[in-house]
Amino acid sequence: MQSNDDVLTSLPSDDRLAGRTALVTGATSGIGEAVARVLAASGAEVVVSGRDQARAERVVAAITARGGRAHALTADLAGPSDGVRTFAAEATALLGGRVDVLVNNAGVYPVGPTDALGDADLDAVLATNVRAPHVLVAALAPPMAARGDGAVVNVGSWMARVGIPMGAAYTASKAAIEQMTRTWAAEYGPRGVRVNTVAPGATATPGNADSQAVLEVMTKATVAGRPVRPVDVAYAVRFAVSDEAAFLHGGTIDVDGGIASTRVA
């Protein structure tokens, strides 16, 4: 099987998202980068956002080198809500005044024991994983609804529905995003905005590279038998925002190799 990097560097181009604009948060590495590059390969004009300008520009360069259209925009989504609203306005301006697709991918993921999680880390989880998506949807979904078309994908986690002995705040934040997905689907769906969750399993990203052995153990007894690649998640996001998913509202697509629902050993 090809590595994640090999797939991303050889993505075929198509026009299924031609003419559409997309904002992808947390897009400077891992799942977010893969989403930005896959959407761009299918014709979308993408804002690549993150906290590090150089890393965002690296992803933009990878997209434009293959003929895609992308812009780098830094943001601290754990900051005050007014700053997140300003970020939404700046992304809209970069995309010519319209955001057709919002992918709420940015997140922080401390998964240690409850009594070891400091107050600052707890605040960061709630601000980044819950408050920021809420603020962005509040800013960007109403204009989509006014146009009668748009798509929001929230990146969840297999841990949202499985009890594990660590990471209470993180797993609760992902359960929250799944429920917000259902509520937003009911709220904005009748006006043309499709809102769904894509829930990755144990995914090998640069952010957890030092936990590769743990990921291998976690996924050994799954159907896939290996960790998820970021590009696997990106393909599901692309489907969820495409016309092919016109009847997908308020759902959760599990891209987890079966970790949440099956065991083979």
Nearest of 151, 131, 130 to residue 140 by alpha carbon: 151
Report residue 247 as tokens: 């009847």
109-122 b/e (C-beta count within 10 Å ≥ 16 → b): beeeeeeebeeeee
Provide DSSP, 128-165.
IIIIHHHHHHHHHHHHHHHHT-EEEEEE--GGGGS--S
Rounded distance between C-alpha atoms, residue 197 and residue 154, angstroms: 5
**CB contact at 8 A, 78 and 69:** no
User: Which residues, including other chains, have CB under 8 Å from residue 34's CB and lie 6 or more apart?
Assistant: 4, 8, 229, 230, 231, 233, 234
User: Which residues, including other chains, have CB under 8 Å from residue 230's CB and lie 6 or more apart?
Assistant: 4, 30, 31, 33, 34, 35, 203, 204, 205
User: Which residues, including other chains, have CB under 8 Å from residue 165's CB and lie 6 or more apart?
Assistant: none
Nearest of 48, 14, 47, 45 to residue 30 by alpha carbon: 48
Is 170 annotated as catalytic?
Answer: yes
Q: Out of 109, 170, 188, 235, pick the active-site residue.
A: 170
Catalytic residues: 170
